[in-house]
């Protein structure tokens, strides 16, 4: 394929309400990620992990609606700069989380790589809360809102000023668990939400075809995979599991279709929690999905 993939780990769990996803990057690497990508003919540059301070050594912060705000902003600023630099050098950034608050930096960096950013966000949750409506104060529930220009000023200005993408250029797929005010905000937005009900009714292939067709005009496509989009019976090692998710094969189909389109610009894979996993099943699944996104096929 003559492509170079730049792997970056962000071992952060400060945006979540449960510890453990900071070990996600290690779990995905341990599952043989680099070997899988090299076998596809890709050149892989692993840039290691960003430094993230542990929760036990940090103040939670004065604002109960934005836990660990200062460190989350600092890490995302560093991530955005790195994603932008790697993409500008012609590499495909692949970001390993960590909790989904790292989506802020991943999208901020990706937005610098084209005039118009398109986003496919695979997630059981909406990630469309802000500090005004969050029921938990956990920033991993906010990155998609930040990406379209909604939220606390410190998050919106973590690197370049948000919004990073227009609402109409964001597709949220696999959603099945929304907070009440978050549901209202999404319903009033132009973000396209393909819930599990729609996937059950129209099938995954149709949903992805619609998404890729709607995003034809974007200059850079970023795909974000929260492993909790997959049913927890198949992917048990996630931070916030929700029953009734997509299947293992549906997840691969999404990534295979995106790879076939030839339009993937950057990728993030988040919320793998080895503490809750079964013999690294979810870490292995994450590595396999990355390989599918980058061109691995059955035949």
pLDDT tens digits, residue range 255-273? 999 999 999 999 999 999 9
* Tens of pLDDT, residues 199-214: 999 999 999 999 999 9
Closest to 177 (Cα-Cα) out of 226, 131, 132, 223: 226
Q: Is the pLDDT of residue 295 over 80?
A: yes
Report pLDDT for 62.
87
Identify any residues that bridge with 194 across adjacent strands, giving them in sequence order. 173
Calculate mean pLDDT across residues 103-125.
98
C-alpha torsion angle, residues 149, 153, 154, 155 (rounded to 10):
-20
Instruction: Give residue 285's Cα distance to chain centre.
Output: 15
Place of tokens 């189909």: 253
Q: What angle do CA 161, 163, 164 make, to 5 degrees?
A: 95
Type and span of the H or E element at 71? helix 69-88
Q: Is the peptide bond before 216 cis (omega within 30 degrees of 0)?
A: no
Closest to 104 (Cα-Cα) out of 59, 162, 56: 162
Q: What are phi and psi of 297, to 5 degrees?
A: -130, 165
What are the angstrom distances between the C-alpha of 275 and each of 24, 221, 282? 10, 32, 11
* pTM, full prediction: 0.97
Q: Is the pLDDT of residue 102 over 90?
A: yes
Give the pair of three-digit tokens for residue 257: 């279709």
CA atoms within 13 A on the CB side of 265: 25
Q: Catalytic residues, which ones?
A: 100, 123, 125, 127, 140, 226, 228, 271
* Tens of pLDDT, residues 6-29: 999 999 999 999 999 999 999 999
Identify any residues that bridge with 43 across adjacent strands, giving them in sequence order. 4
Q: Is the pLDDT of residue 105 over 70?
A: yes
Closest to 241 (Cα-Cα) out of 199, 295, 277, 291: 277
- Residues 9, 49 contacting (CB under 8 angstroms): yes
Mind listing the domains of the chain with CATH numbers? 4-293 (3.40.800.10)
Q: Is the pLDDT of residue 1 over 60?
A: no
Alpha carbon distance 132, 129 (integer Å): 8
């Amino acid at each position: 394929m003559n492509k170079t993939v730049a792997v970056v780990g962000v071992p952060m769990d400060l945006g979540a309400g449960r510890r453990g996803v900071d070990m996600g990057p290690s779990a995905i690497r341990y599952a043989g990620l680099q070997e899988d990508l090299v076998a596809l003919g890709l050149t892989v540059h692993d840039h290691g992990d960003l430094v993230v301070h542990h929760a036990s050594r940090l103040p939670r912060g004065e604002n109960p609606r934005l836990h660990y705000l200062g460190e989350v902003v600092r890490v995302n600023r560093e991530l955005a700069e790195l994603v932008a630099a790697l993409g500008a050098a012609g590499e495909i950034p692949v970001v390993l989380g960590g909790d989904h608050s790292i989506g802020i930096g991943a999208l901020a960096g990706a937005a610098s790589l084209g005039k118009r950013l398109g986003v496919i966000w695979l997630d059981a949750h909406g990630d469309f809360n802000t500090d005004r409506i969050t029921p938990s104060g956990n920033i991993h529930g906010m990155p998609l809102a930040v990406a379209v220009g909604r939220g606390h000023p410190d998050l919106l200005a973590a690197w370049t000023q948000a919004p990073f993408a227009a609402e109409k250029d964001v597709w949220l797929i696999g959603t099945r668990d929304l907070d009440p005010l978050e549901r209202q905000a999404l319903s009033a937005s132009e973000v396209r939400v393909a819930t599990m009900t729609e996937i059950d009714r129209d099938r995954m292939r149709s949903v992805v075809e619609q998404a890729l067709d709607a995003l034809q005009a974007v200059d850079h496509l970023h795909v974000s995979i929260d492993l909790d989009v997959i049913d927890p019976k198949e992917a048990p090692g996630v931070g916030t599991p929700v029953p009734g998710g997509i299947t293992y094969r549906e997840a691969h189909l999404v990534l295979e279709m995106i790879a076939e389109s030839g339009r993937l610009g950057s990728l993030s894979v988040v919320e793998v929690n080895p503490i809750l996993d079964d013999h690294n099943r979810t870490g292995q699944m994450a590595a396999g999905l990355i390989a599918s996104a980058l061109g691995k096929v059955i035949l």
